[in-house]
Amino acid sequence: MNGSTEVIPDALDGERLDRVVALMAEVSRSRACAAIDDGGVSVDGEVSTHRARRVRSGEELWIGDISRQQAEGPLPDPTVVVPVVHADDDVVVVDKPAGLVVHPGSGNETGTMLNGLLAAHPGMQGVGSAVRPGIVHRLDRGTSGLLVVALTQMAYDGLVAQLADRSMGRRYLALAWGRFDEREGVVDAPIGRSPRDRTRMAVVTAGREARTGYEVQRWWAIPEVSLVTCRLETGRTHQIRVHMSAIGHPLVGDGTYGGSRAGLDPGRPFLHAEHLAFDHPTTGERLAFDS
């Protein structure tokens, strides 16, 4: 049976079922409600179609594969400006500005990068997912830089395979608090949802494998910050932000993970996807982009 099962944490005790599903599945409230109405959610082994049901901590919540459920895809929006650095019949490479949301979700139904791309490339509707067509990987709202989007199903499958076998190259530039003891290293620590706050991620024993390589490029004494390049070996939500915070070097401006401090506040986590490399899914040519 497709889907995932999680235990309701204490932090969500007494919350409505539709809100809990939206948080755990990272979808909009409307998509969560549709999944509940379609019988795609169960609590302690019993299908529940009551959106307003109050869940209890310790209950087992199963959420079906919402991305595979039928849904009306995101609407095209030609008013969204999307900076494109490469486009062909199969892929689009975007240099995303900070503040632009990648795809619709809870609280961001329109005005996203995906809405803008659909206006320029209507044929990508339904590629890979009805809910997030063409989206192979994501950048947080506050993160700027490069990401690739698939325009065809063949391209989508090929790019997803490269993410899985870790042949896609992704390098990020980050400004972190403090001076690192070592010039370079690897953070190897599993990441999952925080048991205290389901809207945040954390290093947890039962989390998914996560590895981030880093190398310090420069260091300043006042304020004490380090410019670091990070390479993703896996692609977990908030991975770099969580890993840097876990080793005592939260990103400058990252209030979610302890990086908001007086004296230096860019208004967002200081994180930029500066390099992207992958094999073109049709031609096999190795493509590389820098920002």
Q: Which active-site residues does the annotation give?
A: 140
- Taking CA atoms, 189 is separated from 15, 26, 63, in Å, by 30, 22, 26
DSSP string, 160-173: HHHHHTT-SEEEEE
Closest CA to 105 of 60, 138, 147: 138
Q: Which of 249, 283, 290 is nearest to 269 (CA)?
A: 249
Q: Let me know how long the chain is.
A: 291
Of 176, 200, 196, 199, residue with least CA distance to 187: 176
Long-range contacts of 12-16 (CB under 8 A, 24+ apart): 12/55, 12/57, 12/198, 13/55, 13/56, 13/57, 14/54, 14/55, 14/56, 15/54, 15/55, 16/51, 16/52, 16/53, 16/54, 16/55
Phi first, then psi: give them for residue 35, nearest 5 degrees.
-65, -40
Element (H, E) at 150: strand 144-150
| CA pair distance 82, 47, nearest whole angstrom | 41
In degrees to the nearest 10, what's the CA dihedral of 43, 45, 48, 51?
Answer: 20
C-alpha 272/C-alpha 276 separation (Å) is 11
Here the tokens at position 67 are: 């991305």
Kindly state the DSSP code that residue 17 receives in the 8-state scheme: H
CA–CA distance, 173 with 252 (Å, rounded to integer)? 12
